[in-house]
Structure 1
Protein backbone atom coordinates (compact mmCIF):
# COMPACT_ATOMS: atom_id res chain seq x y z
CA UNK A 1 0.00 0.00 0.00
CA UNK A 2 1.33 3.43 -0.93
CA UNK A 3 1.86 6.25 1.51
CA UNK A 4 -1.03 8.11 -0.11
CA UNK A 5 -3.38 5.17 0.39
CA UNK A 6 -2.40 4.83 4.04
CA UNK A 7 -3.32 8.44 4.68
CA UNK A 8 -6.81 8.14 3.21
CA UNK A 9 -8.41 5.65 5.58
CA UNK A 10 -11.78 7.36 5.79
CA UNK A 11 -13.53 10.69 6.27
CA UNK A 12 -16.11 12.37 8.46
CA UNK A 13 -18.62 15.15 7.91
CA UNK A 14 -19.09 18.06 10.29
CA UNK A 15 -22.59 19.46 10.74
CA UNK A 16 -21.45 22.98 11.64
CA UNK A 17 -18.88 23.55 8.88
CA UNK A 18 -20.65 21.48 6.23
CA UNK A 19 -17.37 19.81 5.29
CA UNK A 20 -16.63 16.13 4.85
CA UNK A 21 -13.00 16.01 5.95
CA UNK A 22 -10.31 13.41 5.55
CA UNK A 23 -9.05 12.03 8.89
CA UNK A 24 -6.25 13.75 10.74
CA UNK A 25 -6.67 17.05 8.92
CA UNK A 26 -8.56 20.28 9.20
CA UNK A 27 -10.75 21.62 6.43
CA UNK A 28 -9.31 22.40 3.05
CA UNK A 29 -6.47 24.87 2.76
CA UNK A 30 -6.31 27.58 0.10
CA UNK A 31 -3.13 26.23 -1.44
CA UNK A 32 -1.86 27.03 -4.89
CA UNK A 33 -3.59 25.24 -7.75
CA UNK A 34 -1.19 22.82 -9.37
CA UNK A 35 -1.22 21.55 -12.90
CA UNK A 36 -3.94 23.32 -14.89
CA UNK A 37 -3.66 26.96 -15.99
CA UNK A 38 -6.61 29.33 -15.87
CA UNK A 39 -8.84 28.71 -18.92
CA UNK A 40 -8.62 31.08 -21.87
CA UNK A 41 -11.31 33.13 -23.61
CA UNK A 42 -12.86 34.38 -20.38
CA UNK A 43 -13.94 31.00 -19.03
CA UNK A 44 -13.91 30.42 -15.29
CA UNK A 45 -12.43 27.11 -14.20
CA UNK A 46 -14.02 25.44 -11.21
CA UNK A 47 -11.96 22.64 -9.72
CA UNK A 48 -14.37 20.61 -7.62
CA UNK A 49 -12.67 18.33 -5.09
CA UNK A 50 -15.29 15.81 -4.08
CA UNK A 51 -16.23 12.18 -3.42
CA UNK A 52 -19.30 10.29 -4.69
CA UNK A 53 -20.45 9.36 -1.14
CA UNK A 54 -19.85 12.82 0.37
CA UNK A 55 -23.09 13.94 2.05
CA UNK A 56 -21.95 17.58 2.23
CA UNK A 57 -21.46 17.46 -1.55
CA UNK A 58 -25.00 16.16 -1.98
CA UNK A 59 -26.28 19.04 0.14
CA UNK A 60 -24.39 21.42 -2.19
CA UNK A 61 -26.33 20.12 -5.21
CA UNK A 62 -29.08 22.80 -5.18
CA UNK A 63 -26.48 25.57 -5.35
CA UNK A 64 -24.22 23.65 -7.74
CA UNK A 65 -26.94 22.71 -10.21
CA UNK A 66 -28.42 26.20 -10.22
CA UNK A 67 -25.02 27.71 -11.02
CA UNK A 68 -23.96 25.21 -13.68
CA UNK A 69 -27.33 25.17 -15.44
CA UNK A 70 -27.48 28.97 -15.73
CA UNK A 71 -23.81 29.68 -16.52
CA UNK A 72 -22.73 26.46 -18.23
CA UNK A 73 -21.20 28.24 -21.24
CA UNK A 74 -18.95 30.31 -18.95
CA UNK A 75 -17.61 27.48 -16.78
CA UNK A 76 -14.95 24.82 -17.24
CA UNK A 77 -15.48 22.17 -14.54
CA UNK A 78 -12.75 19.75 -13.46
CA UNK A 79 -13.67 17.10 -10.88
CA UNK A 80 -11.03 15.70 -8.55
CA UNK A 81 -11.91 12.64 -6.44
CA UNK A 82 -10.17 12.72 -3.09
CA UNK A 83 -10.95 9.34 -1.52
CA UNK A 84 -13.26 10.00 1.43
CA UNK A 85 -13.55 6.39 2.60
CA UNK A 86 -10.85 3.84 1.81
CA UNK A 87 -12.40 1.34 4.21
CA UNK A 88 -13.84 0.75 7.66
CA UNK A 89 -11.00 -1.27 9.16
CA UNK A 90 -9.68 0.64 12.15
CA UNK A 91 -11.96 3.62 11.49
CA UNK A 92 -13.37 5.53 14.47
CA UNK A 93 -14.68 9.09 14.59
CA UNK A 94 -15.18 9.75 18.29
CA UNK A 95 -16.31 13.35 17.75
CA UNK A 96 -19.32 12.35 15.67
CA UNK A 97 -19.90 9.00 17.35
CA UNK A 98 -19.19 7.04 14.17
CA UNK A 99 -17.58 3.65 14.53
CA UNK A 100 -19.76 1.48 12.31
CA UNK A 101 -21.55 2.04 8.97
CA UNK A 102 -24.97 2.30 10.61
CA UNK A 103 -23.74 5.26 12.64
CA UNK A 104 -23.49 7.18 9.36
CA UNK A 105 -27.25 6.84 8.86
CA UNK A 106 -27.98 9.01 11.90
CA UNK A 107 -25.36 11.50 10.76
CA UNK A 108 -26.93 11.78 7.29
CA UNK A 109 -30.39 12.22 8.80
CA UNK A 110 -29.07 15.21 10.78
CA UNK A 111 -27.51 16.69 7.64
CA UNK A 112 -30.83 16.36 5.81
CA UNK A 113 -32.78 18.00 8.63
CA UNK A 114 -30.41 20.96 8.87
CA UNK A 115 -30.06 21.57 5.13
CA UNK A 116 -33.50 20.68 3.81
CA UNK A 117 -31.93 18.53 1.08
CA UNK A 118 -33.50 15.06 1.51
CA UNK A 119 -31.29 12.02 2.04
CA UNK A 120 -32.19 8.34 2.02
CA UNK A 121 -29.84 6.90 4.63
CA UNK A 122 -31.11 3.32 4.37
CA UNK A 123 -28.00 2.02 2.58
CA UNK A 124 -26.06 2.11 5.85
CA UNK A 125 -28.54 -0.36 7.36
CA UNK A 126 -29.35 -2.57 4.38
CA UNK A 127 -26.20 -2.77 2.24
CA UNK A 128 -23.36 -0.69 3.73
CA UNK A 129 -20.75 0.83 1.46
CA UNK A 130 -17.31 -0.58 2.29
CA UNK A 131 -15.34 2.05 0.39
CA UNK A 132 -15.82 5.08 -1.84
CA UNK A 133 -12.89 3.96 -3.99
CA UNK A 134 -14.86 1.70 -6.42
CA UNK A 135 -17.28 4.44 -7.56
CA UNK A 136 -14.38 6.91 -7.73
CA UNK A 137 -12.46 4.51 -9.98
CA UNK A 138 -15.60 4.06 -12.10
CA UNK A 139 -15.81 7.84 -12.47
CA UNK A 140 -12.17 7.90 -13.53
CA UNK A 141 -12.97 5.25 -16.15
CA UNK A 142 -15.86 7.32 -17.53
CA UNK A 143 -13.55 10.35 -17.64
CA UNK A 144 -11.09 8.37 -19.78
CA UNK A 145 -13.84 6.88 -21.93
CA UNK A 146 -16.15 9.87 -22.46
CA UNK A 147 -15.21 12.94 -20.39
CA UNK A 148 -18.29 14.84 -21.55
CA UNK A 149 -20.40 12.32 -19.58
CA UNK A 150 -18.39 12.40 -16.34
CA UNK A 151 -20.59 14.91 -14.54
CA UNK A 152 -23.80 13.15 -15.59
CA UNK A 153 -22.39 9.87 -14.31
CA UNK A 154 -21.47 11.46 -10.97
CA UNK A 155 -24.99 12.85 -10.66
CA UNK A 156 -26.54 9.45 -11.37
CA UNK A 157 -24.33 7.84 -8.72
CA UNK A 158 -25.47 10.42 -6.20
CA UNK A 159 -29.13 9.91 -7.11
CA UNK A 160 -28.79 6.15 -6.66
CA UNK A 161 -27.17 6.62 -3.26
CA UNK A 162 -28.86 9.64 -1.70
CA UNK A 163 -32.32 9.26 -3.22
CA UNK A 164 -32.66 5.49 -3.66
CA UNK A 165 -30.37 4.19 -0.92
CA UNK A 166 -28.37 1.89 -3.19
CA UNK A 167 -24.78 0.74 -2.70
CA UNK A 168 -22.87 2.57 -5.43
CA UNK A 169 -19.74 0.51 -4.80
CA UNK A 170 -21.44 -2.53 -6.38
CA UNK A 171 -19.76 -3.38 -9.73
CA UNK A 172 -23.03 -4.40 -11.36
CA UNK A 173 -24.69 -1.08 -10.57
CA UNK A 174 -21.66 0.88 -11.74
CA UNK A 175 -21.75 -0.93 -15.10
CA UNK A 176 -25.53 -0.54 -15.42
CA UNK A 177 -25.23 3.24 -15.05
CA UNK A 178 -22.49 3.30 -17.70
CA UNK A 179 -24.86 1.50 -20.05
CA UNK A 180 -27.69 3.87 -19.09
CA UNK A 181 -25.59 6.77 -20.41
CA UNK A 182 -25.14 4.94 -23.71
CA UNK A 183 -21.43 4.32 -23.23
CA UNK A 184 -19.47 1.26 -24.35
CA UNK A 185 -19.57 -1.09 -21.36
CA UNK A 186 -16.86 -3.36 -22.80
CA UNK A 187 -14.46 -0.42 -23.10
CA UNK A 188 -15.38 0.71 -19.60
CA UNK A 189 -14.70 -2.79 -18.26
CA UNK A 190 -11.29 -2.87 -19.96
CA UNK A 191 -10.30 0.39 -18.26
CA UNK A 192 -11.28 -1.13 -14.92
CA UNK A 193 -9.56 -4.47 -15.49
CA UNK A 194 -6.29 -3.18 -16.98
CA UNK A 195 -5.73 -0.70 -14.15
CA UNK A 196 -5.95 2.47 -16.24
CA UNK A 197 -8.97 3.75 -14.33
CA UNK A 198 -7.35 3.06 -10.97
CA UNK A 199 -4.21 4.89 -12.09
CA UNK A 200 -6.34 7.86 -13.12
CA UNK A 201 -7.99 7.88 -9.69
CA UNK A 202 -4.60 7.66 -7.97
CA UNK A 203 -3.59 10.79 -9.86
CA UNK A 204 -6.66 12.47 -8.39
CA UNK A 205 -5.54 11.47 -4.90
CA UNK A 206 -2.18 13.10 -5.55
CA UNK A 207 -3.89 16.16 -7.02
CA UNK A 208 -6.04 16.47 -3.90
CA UNK A 209 -2.88 16.78 -1.81
CA UNK A 210 -1.28 19.21 -4.26
CA UNK A 211 -4.31 21.46 -4.01
CA UNK A 212 -4.19 21.39 -0.23
CA UNK A 213 -7.80 20.17 -0.21
CA UNK A 214 -8.45 18.23 2.98
CA UNK A 215 -12.22 18.39 3.00
CA UNK A 216 -15.13 17.96 0.62
CA UNK A 217 -16.62 19.82 -1.07
CA UNK A 218 -13.80 22.18 -1.97
CA UNK A 219 -14.46 24.51 -4.89
CA UNK A 220 -11.57 26.43 -6.41
CA UNK A 221 -12.87 29.14 -8.74
CA UNK A 222 -10.32 30.73 -11.09
CA UNK A 223 -11.50 33.33 -13.55
CA UNK A 224 -10.45 36.49 -15.37
CA UNK A 225 -11.09 38.60 -12.26
CA UNK A 226 -9.56 36.47 -9.53
CA UNK A 227 -9.41 33.24 -7.59
CA UNK A 228 -11.47 32.12 -4.59
CA UNK A 229 -11.55 28.86 -2.60
CA UNK A 230 -14.84 27.77 -1.01
CA UNK A 231 -15.26 24.98 1.55
CA UNK A 232 -18.31 23.00 2.60
CA UNK A 233 -21.92 23.26 1.51
CA UNK A 234 -22.99 26.84 0.90
CA UNK A 235 -26.17 28.64 -0.12
CA UNK A 236 -26.93 29.25 -3.82
CA UNK A 237 -26.59 33.04 -3.51
CA UNK A 238 -23.09 32.80 -2.06
CA UNK A 239 -21.88 30.42 -4.75
CA UNK A 240 -23.36 32.55 -7.53
CA UNK A 241 -21.97 35.80 -6.10
CA UNK A 242 -18.51 34.27 -5.76
CA UNK A 243 -18.65 33.06 -9.36
CA UNK A 244 -19.72 36.51 -10.58
CA UNK A 245 -16.86 38.12 -8.66
CA UNK A 246 -14.11 35.97 -10.19
CA UNK A 247 -15.65 35.69 -13.66
CA UNK A 248 -16.76 39.27 -14.19
CA UNK A 249 -19.93 37.90 -15.77
CA UNK A 250 -23.29 39.62 -15.63
CA UNK A 251 -25.92 38.10 -13.36
CA UNK A 252 -28.42 35.94 -15.19
CA UNK A 253 -32.07 35.49 -14.23
CA UNK A 254 -33.41 32.38 -12.60
CA UNK A 255 -35.31 29.91 -14.77
CA UNK A 256 -38.86 31.21 -14.53
CA UNK A 257 -40.60 28.41 -16.44
CA UNK A 258 -41.14 25.20 -14.49
CA UNK A 259 -41.19 23.34 -17.81
CA UNK A 260 -37.74 24.66 -18.72
CA UNK A 261 -36.50 23.85 -15.22
CA UNK A 262 -37.76 20.30 -15.65
CA UNK A 263 -35.98 20.02 -19.01
CA UNK A 264 -32.74 21.20 -17.43
CA UNK A 265 -32.79 19.23 -14.17
CA UNK A 266 -34.78 16.09 -14.86
CA UNK A 267 -34.79 14.15 -11.60
CA UNK A 268 -34.31 16.56 -8.73
CA UNK A 269 -35.32 17.42 -5.22
CA UNK A 270 -37.74 20.18 -4.28
CA UNK A 271 -34.82 22.22 -2.97
CA UNK A 272 -32.93 21.85 -6.26
CA UNK A 273 -35.93 23.03 -8.25
CA UNK A 274 -36.45 25.90 -5.82
CA UNK A 275 -32.82 27.04 -6.19
CA UNK A 276 -33.00 27.06 -10.00
CA UNK A 277 -36.37 28.83 -10.24
CA UNK A 278 -36.25 31.20 -7.29
CA UNK A 279 -39.52 29.83 -5.92
CA UNK A 280 -40.04 28.56 -2.40
CA UNK A 281 -40.15 24.81 -1.86
CA UNK A 282 -43.92 24.97 -1.36
CA UNK A 283 -44.44 26.98 -4.54
CA UNK A 284 -42.20 24.78 -6.65
CA UNK A 285 -43.92 21.61 -5.45
CA UNK A 286 -47.30 23.08 -6.46
CA UNK A 287 -45.94 24.07 -9.88
CA UNK A 288 -44.38 20.65 -10.48
CA UNK A 289 -47.61 18.92 -9.49
CA UNK A 290 -49.61 21.09 -11.91
CA UNK A 291 -47.07 20.32 -14.63
CA UNK A 292 -47.72 16.59 -14.21
CA UNK A 293 -44.43 15.68 -12.55
CA UNK A 294 -44.40 12.66 -10.28
CA UNK A 295 -42.73 12.62 -6.90
CA UNK A 296 -41.73 10.22 -4.19
CA UNK A 297 -40.82 10.76 -0.56
CA UNK A 298 -37.14 10.75 0.38
CA UNK A 299 -36.66 11.12 4.10
CA UNK A 300 -38.73 14.17 5.01
CA UNK A 301 -38.47 15.67 1.53
CA UNK A 302 -39.41 14.75 -2.03
CA UNK A 303 -37.66 13.85 -5.26
CA UNK A 304 -39.34 14.71 -8.57
CA UNK A 305 -39.40 13.06 -11.98
CA UNK A 306 -40.96 15.39 -14.57
CA UNK A 307 -43.01 14.35 -17.55
CA UNK A 308 -40.85 13.52 -20.55
CA UNK A 309 -40.32 16.56 -22.75
CA UNK A 310 -37.52 17.57 -25.08
CA UNK A 311 -34.81 16.84 -22.53
CA UNK A 312 -31.34 18.16 -23.32
Structure 2
Protein backbone atom coordinates (compact mmCIF):
# COMPACT_ATOMS: atom_id res chain seq x y z
CA UNK A 1 0.00 0.00 0.00
CA UNK A 2 1.23 3.49 -0.82
CA UNK A 3 0.88 5.45 2.47
CA UNK A 4 0.34 8.73 0.62
CA UNK A 5 -2.96 7.47 -0.80
CA UNK A 6 -4.53 7.78 2.64
CA UNK A 7 -7.06 10.54 3.00
CA UNK A 8 -5.95 13.78 4.63
CA UNK A 9 -6.78 17.43 5.06
CA UNK A 10 -4.19 20.19 4.87
CA UNK A 11 -3.93 23.83 5.78
CA UNK A 12 -2.02 25.39 2.90
CA UNK A 13 -1.08 28.44 4.98
CA UNK A 14 0.53 26.67 7.93
CA UNK A 15 1.70 23.67 5.94
CA UNK A 16 0.17 21.30 8.50
CA UNK A 17 -1.75 18.19 7.44
CA UNK A 18 -3.98 15.98 9.52
CA UNK A 19 -5.75 12.71 8.87
CA UNK A 20 -9.51 12.66 8.53
CA UNK A 21 -11.08 9.31 7.66
CA UNK A 22 -14.27 11.10 6.55
CA UNK A 23 -12.63 13.22 3.85
CA UNK A 24 -11.93 12.23 0.25
CA UNK A 25 -8.40 12.41 -1.11
CA UNK A 26 -7.79 15.76 -2.81
CA UNK A 27 -4.62 17.06 -4.50
CA UNK A 28 -2.72 19.68 -2.51
CA UNK A 29 -1.98 22.60 -4.82
CA UNK A 30 1.12 24.73 -4.59
CA UNK A 31 3.30 22.68 -2.24
CA UNK A 32 5.43 20.11 -4.05
CA UNK A 33 6.86 18.38 -0.96
CA UNK A 34 5.05 16.48 1.75
CA UNK A 35 6.80 15.64 5.02
CA UNK A 36 5.55 12.84 7.23
CA UNK A 37 6.66 13.78 10.75
CA UNK A 38 6.59 10.75 13.06
CA UNK A 39 6.52 11.85 16.69
CA UNK A 40 5.72 10.65 20.18
CA UNK A 41 3.97 13.40 22.20
CA UNK A 42 5.85 12.22 25.31
CA UNK A 43 9.25 12.35 23.60
CA UNK A 44 11.61 15.12 24.73
CA UNK A 45 13.62 14.58 21.54
CA UNK A 46 10.54 15.39 19.45
CA UNK A 47 9.82 18.46 21.59
CA UNK A 48 13.40 19.65 21.10
CA UNK A 49 12.85 19.68 17.32
CA UNK A 50 10.25 22.46 17.57
CA UNK A 51 12.76 25.32 16.98
CA UNK A 52 14.07 23.72 13.76
CA UNK A 53 10.57 22.97 12.51
CA UNK A 54 9.50 26.57 13.10
CA UNK A 55 12.56 27.79 11.20
CA UNK A 56 11.73 25.53 8.26
CA UNK A 57 8.11 26.70 8.24
CA UNK A 58 9.01 30.39 8.49
CA UNK A 59 11.71 30.28 5.81
CA UNK A 60 10.54 27.61 3.36
CA UNK A 61 6.95 26.79 4.28
CA UNK A 62 5.81 27.63 0.74
CA UNK A 63 7.42 24.43 -0.50
CA UNK A 64 6.15 21.77 1.87
CA UNK A 65 3.27 20.61 3.99
CA UNK A 66 3.52 18.48 7.11
CA UNK A 67 1.52 15.46 8.16
CA UNK A 68 2.01 14.60 11.82
CA UNK A 69 1.78 10.92 12.70
CA UNK A 70 1.92 9.46 16.19
CA UNK A 71 4.63 6.83 16.07
CA UNK A 72 4.77 5.57 19.65
CA UNK A 73 4.44 1.85 20.14
CA UNK A 74 1.52 1.85 22.52
CA UNK A 75 2.60 -1.12 24.62
CA UNK A 76 5.91 0.61 25.26
CA UNK A 77 4.19 3.92 26.06
CA UNK A 78 2.47 2.59 29.14
CA UNK A 79 4.48 2.32 32.33
CA UNK A 80 5.27 -1.26 33.33
CA UNK A 81 2.79 -2.53 35.97
CA UNK A 82 5.62 -3.96 38.06
CA UNK A 83 6.21 -1.21 40.64
CA UNK A 84 9.98 -1.66 40.95
CA UNK A 85 10.56 -1.68 37.19
CA UNK A 86 8.09 1.18 36.81
CA UNK A 87 9.98 3.37 39.27
CA UNK A 88 13.28 2.61 37.55
CA UNK A 89 11.80 3.50 34.18
CA UNK A 90 10.32 6.74 35.50
CA UNK A 91 13.64 7.80 36.99
CA UNK A 92 15.40 7.04 33.72
CA UNK A 93 12.82 9.08 31.77
CA UNK A 94 13.11 11.96 34.24
CA UNK A 95 16.89 12.05 33.83
CA UNK A 96 16.56 11.85 30.04
CA UNK A 97 14.17 14.81 29.93
CA UNK A 98 16.42 16.96 32.11
CA UNK A 99 19.48 16.06 30.05
CA UNK A 100 17.78 16.90 26.75
CA UNK A 101 16.46 20.18 28.15
CA UNK A 102 19.95 21.15 29.27
CA UNK A 103 21.50 20.22 25.93
CA UNK A 104 18.89 21.79 23.64
CA UNK A 105 17.47 24.71 25.61
CA UNK A 106 13.92 23.46 24.99
CA UNK A 107 12.64 23.10 28.54
CA UNK A 108 11.10 19.85 29.71
CA UNK A 109 10.75 19.10 33.42
CA UNK A 110 11.71 15.52 34.23
CA UNK A 111 9.95 15.75 37.59
CA UNK A 112 6.78 15.00 35.64
CA UNK A 113 7.62 11.30 35.74
CA UNK A 114 8.21 11.36 39.49
CA UNK A 115 5.04 13.29 40.36
CA UNK A 116 2.46 11.51 38.18
CA UNK A 117 1.47 7.94 38.95
CA UNK A 118 -1.31 6.91 36.57
CA UNK A 119 -0.25 7.84 33.06
CA UNK A 120 -2.11 6.68 29.95
CA UNK A 121 -0.28 7.77 26.77
CA UNK A 122 -2.92 5.99 24.69
CA UNK A 123 -5.59 8.42 25.90
CA UNK A 124 -3.35 11.40 25.08
CA UNK A 125 -2.66 10.01 21.60
CA UNK A 126 -6.36 9.45 20.99
CA UNK A 127 -7.07 13.03 22.09
CA UNK A 128 -4.60 14.38 19.53
CA UNK A 129 -6.34 12.49 16.74
CA UNK A 130 -9.75 13.64 18.04
CA UNK A 131 -8.55 17.25 17.94
CA UNK A 132 -7.43 16.84 14.32
CA UNK A 133 -11.01 16.01 13.37
CA UNK A 134 -11.81 19.72 13.89
CA UNK A 135 -9.22 20.62 11.26
CA UNK A 136 -5.44 20.52 10.89
CA UNK A 137 -4.83 24.01 12.25
CA UNK A 138 -6.69 23.33 15.51
CA UNK A 139 -5.09 19.90 15.62
CA UNK A 140 -1.61 21.43 15.46
CA UNK A 141 -2.46 24.02 18.11
CA UNK A 142 -3.90 21.33 20.37
CA UNK A 143 -0.74 19.23 20.06
CA UNK A 144 1.40 22.24 20.92
CA UNK A 145 -0.78 23.19 23.91
CA UNK A 146 -0.79 19.61 25.15
CA UNK A 147 3.00 19.44 25.05
CA UNK A 148 3.29 22.77 26.85
CA UNK A 149 1.13 21.36 29.65
CA UNK A 150 3.27 18.24 29.72
CA UNK A 151 6.82 19.53 29.42
CA UNK A 152 6.50 22.91 31.14
CA UNK A 153 3.73 22.44 33.72
CA UNK A 154 4.15 18.72 34.50
CA UNK A 155 0.43 18.14 33.88
CA UNK A 156 -0.91 14.64 33.24
CA UNK A 157 -2.07 15.00 29.63
CA UNK A 158 -4.04 11.77 29.84
CA UNK A 159 -6.33 13.39 32.43
CA UNK A 160 -9.70 14.31 30.96
CA UNK A 161 -9.82 17.67 32.75
CA UNK A 162 -6.45 18.66 31.27
CA UNK A 163 -7.57 17.58 27.80
CA UNK A 164 -10.75 19.64 28.14
CA UNK A 165 -8.75 22.66 29.33
CA UNK A 166 -6.39 22.39 26.35
CA UNK A 167 -9.25 22.20 23.88
CA UNK A 168 -10.99 25.17 25.50
CA UNK A 169 -7.84 27.33 25.63
CA UNK A 170 -7.23 27.04 21.89
CA UNK A 171 -10.84 27.73 20.95
CA UNK A 172 -12.01 24.27 19.99
CA UNK A 173 -15.60 23.10 20.26
CA UNK A 174 -15.13 21.26 23.57
CA UNK A 175 -18.35 19.23 23.35
CA UNK A 176 -17.50 18.06 19.85
CA UNK A 177 -13.97 17.21 20.98
CA UNK A 178 -15.27 15.06 23.85
CA UNK A 179 -17.59 13.24 21.46
CA UNK A 180 -14.77 12.67 18.97
CA UNK A 181 -12.49 11.43 21.75
CA UNK A 182 -14.72 8.38 22.11
CA UNK A 183 -15.56 8.03 18.43
CA UNK A 184 -14.53 5.32 15.95
CA UNK A 185 -13.06 8.07 13.73
CA UNK A 186 -10.39 9.05 16.28
CA UNK A 187 -9.43 5.43 16.89
CA UNK A 188 -9.31 4.79 13.15
CA UNK A 189 -7.01 7.78 12.64
CA UNK A 190 -4.68 6.59 15.41
CA UNK A 191 -4.67 3.04 14.02
CA UNK A 192 -3.82 4.54 10.64
CA UNK A 193 -0.81 6.33 12.14
CA UNK A 194 0.41 3.17 13.84
CA UNK A 195 0.02 1.13 10.65
CA UNK A 196 1.89 3.71 8.57
CA UNK A 197 4.67 3.80 11.17
CA UNK A 198 5.07 0.05 10.80
CA UNK A 199 4.89 0.08 6.99
CA UNK A 200 7.55 2.77 6.75
CA UNK A 201 9.74 0.91 9.25
CA UNK A 202 10.11 3.91 11.52
CA UNK A 203 12.25 2.78 14.43
CA UNK A 204 12.82 5.97 16.41
CA UNK A 205 11.34 9.42 16.95
CA UNK A 206 11.44 11.98 15.65
CA UNK A 207 11.61 10.59 12.12
CA UNK A 208 10.75 12.34 8.88
CA UNK A 209 9.89 10.97 5.45
CA UNK A 210 10.14 13.42 2.56
CA UNK A 211 8.05 12.94 -0.59
CA UNK A 212 7.95 15.02 -3.75
CA UNK A 213 4.90 15.38 -6.00
CA UNK A 214 5.61 12.09 -7.83
CA UNK A 215 3.30 9.81 -5.87
CA UNK A 216 4.95 6.68 -7.29
CA UNK A 217 8.42 7.66 -6.09
CA UNK A 218 9.66 6.39 -2.74
CA UNK A 219 10.23 8.92 -0.01
CA UNK A 220 13.51 9.66 1.74
CA UNK A 221 13.56 8.82 5.44
CA UNK A 222 15.57 10.74 8.03
CA UNK A 223 15.58 9.31 11.56
CA UNK A 224 16.66 11.49 14.45
CA UNK A 225 17.56 15.17 14.79
CA UNK A 226 20.21 16.74 12.55
CA UNK A 227 21.44 20.22 11.78
CA UNK A 228 19.08 22.57 9.96
CA UNK A 229 21.20 22.49 6.81
CA UNK A 230 20.58 18.74 6.42
CA UNK A 231 16.82 19.23 6.08
CA UNK A 232 17.24 22.21 3.78
CA UNK A 233 19.61 20.23 1.54
CA UNK A 234 17.11 17.38 1.42
CA UNK A 235 14.31 19.74 0.40
CA UNK A 236 16.54 21.15 -2.35
CA UNK A 237 17.31 17.66 -3.64
CA UNK A 238 13.63 16.69 -3.65
CA UNK A 239 12.74 19.89 -5.54
CA UNK A 240 15.64 19.67 -7.97
CA UNK A 241 16.55 23.29 -7.28
CA UNK A 242 17.45 25.59 -4.39
CA UNK A 243 14.23 27.00 -2.88
CA UNK A 244 13.79 30.71 -2.37
CA UNK A 245 13.64 31.81 1.24
CA UNK A 246 10.52 33.67 2.32
CA UNK A 247 10.73 37.37 3.06
CA UNK A 248 12.01 37.82 6.59
CA UNK A 249 9.46 38.60 9.30
CA UNK A 250 10.08 40.52 12.53
CA UNK A 251 10.38 38.91 15.94
CA UNK A 252 7.11 40.59 16.93
CA UNK A 253 5.37 39.07 13.90
CA UNK A 254 6.79 35.69 14.86
CA UNK A 255 5.48 36.04 18.41
CA UNK A 256 2.09 37.16 17.17
CA UNK A 257 1.88 34.15 14.86
CA UNK A 258 2.80 31.51 17.45
CA UNK A 259 1.61 33.30 20.65
CA UNK A 260 3.81 31.35 23.09
CA UNK A 261 7.40 30.47 22.26
CA UNK A 262 10.72 29.68 23.93
CA UNK A 263 13.78 31.90 23.80
CA UNK A 264 15.58 29.08 22.00
CA UNK A 265 12.86 28.98 19.32
CA UNK A 266 13.37 32.69 18.63
CA UNK A 267 17.14 32.24 18.70
CA UNK A 268 17.09 29.40 16.16
CA UNK A 269 14.61 31.03 13.78
CA UNK A 270 16.43 34.39 13.75
CA UNK A 271 20.02 33.09 14.10
CA UNK A 272 20.58 34.87 17.41
CA UNK A 273 22.13 34.00 20.74
CA UNK A 274 19.90 33.83 23.82
CA UNK A 275 21.48 37.07 25.03
CA UNK A 276 20.66 38.76 21.71
CA UNK A 277 17.09 37.49 21.90
CA UNK A 278 16.62 39.03 25.34
CA UNK A 279 18.02 42.33 24.09
CA UNK A 280 15.69 42.32 21.07
CA UNK A 281 12.68 41.62 23.28
CA UNK A 282 13.24 44.43 25.77
CA UNK A 283 11.27 47.05 23.75
CA UNK A 284 8.32 44.64 23.48
CA UNK A 285 8.42 44.10 27.25
CA UNK A 286 8.40 47.85 27.88
CA UNK A 287 5.48 48.25 25.47
CA UNK A 288 3.68 45.47 27.38
CA UNK A 289 3.25 43.47 24.20
CA UNK A 290 4.81 40.32 25.64
CA UNK A 291 5.09 38.61 29.00
CA UNK A 292 8.10 36.69 30.25
CA UNK A 293 7.32 33.18 31.53
CA UNK A 294 10.23 31.54 33.40
CA UNK A 295 10.35 27.73 33.22
CA UNK A 296 12.69 25.13 34.70
CA UNK A 297 15.15 25.43 31.82
CA UNK A 298 15.09 28.85 30.21
CA UNK A 299 12.27 31.23 29.35
CA UNK A 300 9.09 31.30 27.28
CA UNK A 301 7.39 34.43 25.96
CA UNK A 302 3.65 35.03 25.75
CA UNK A 303 2.31 37.50 23.19
CA UNK A 304 -0.23 39.91 24.71
CA UNK A 305 -0.92 42.64 22.15
TM bucket normalised to smaller: 0.7 to 0.9
- Contact 1:59 1:115 survives alignment (8 Å): yes
**Equivalent residue for 1:141, pick from 102, 109, 130:** 130
Normalised by the length of structure 1, the TM-score is 0.78
In structure 2, distance between residues paired with 1:183 and 1:261: 23
> Within the alignment, does 1:52 sit opposite 2:41 as a pair?
yes
* Deviation sequence 1:146-200 (CA, Å, 0-9, x none): 2332111111111111122211111111122112222222222222223431232
Deviation (angstroms), 1:52: 1.1
In structure 2, distance between residues paired with 1:98 and 1:47: 34
Distance 1:240 1:35, change over 3 A: closer
> Within the alignment, does 1:88 sit opposite 2:79 as a pair?
yes
Distance 1:53 1:172, change over 3 A: same
- Structure in which a larger fraction of residues adopt helix: 2
Secondary structure, counterpart of 1:291 in structure 2: helix
Q: 1:252 maps to what in 2? A: 245
**Could you say what the CA RMSD is over the residues aligned between the two structures, in angstroms?**
2.8
When the two structures are aligned, how many residues end up with a matched partner?
274
In structure 2, distance between residues paired with 1:194 and 1:46: 27
Written as runs of structure 1 = structure 2, the 5 A alignment for 1:143-292 is 143-224=132-213, 227-247=219-239, 248=241, 250-252=243-245, 255=248, 257-292=250-285
Distance 1:195 1:143, change over 3 A: same
Secondary structure, counterpart of 1:45 in structure 2: strand
* Deviation sequence 1:222-257 (CA, Å, 0-9, x none): 125984321112233332332233234524167452
> Within the alignment, does 1:34 sit opposite 2:3 as a pair?
yes
Distance 1:232 1:206, change over 3 A: same
Q: 2:66 maps to what in 1? A: 77
In structure 2, distance between residues paired with 1:175 and 1:202: 23
In structure 1, distance between residues paired with 2:301 and 2:30: 37
Normalised by the length of structure 2, the TM-score is 0.80
5+ unaligned residues in a row in structure 2: which ranges? 7-26
5+ unaligned residues in a row in structure 1: which ranges? 1-31
In structure 1, distance between residues paired with 2:57 and 2:159: 29
Q: Which moved more, 1:37-46 or 1:103-112?
A: 37-46
Deviation (angstroms), 1:120: 2.0
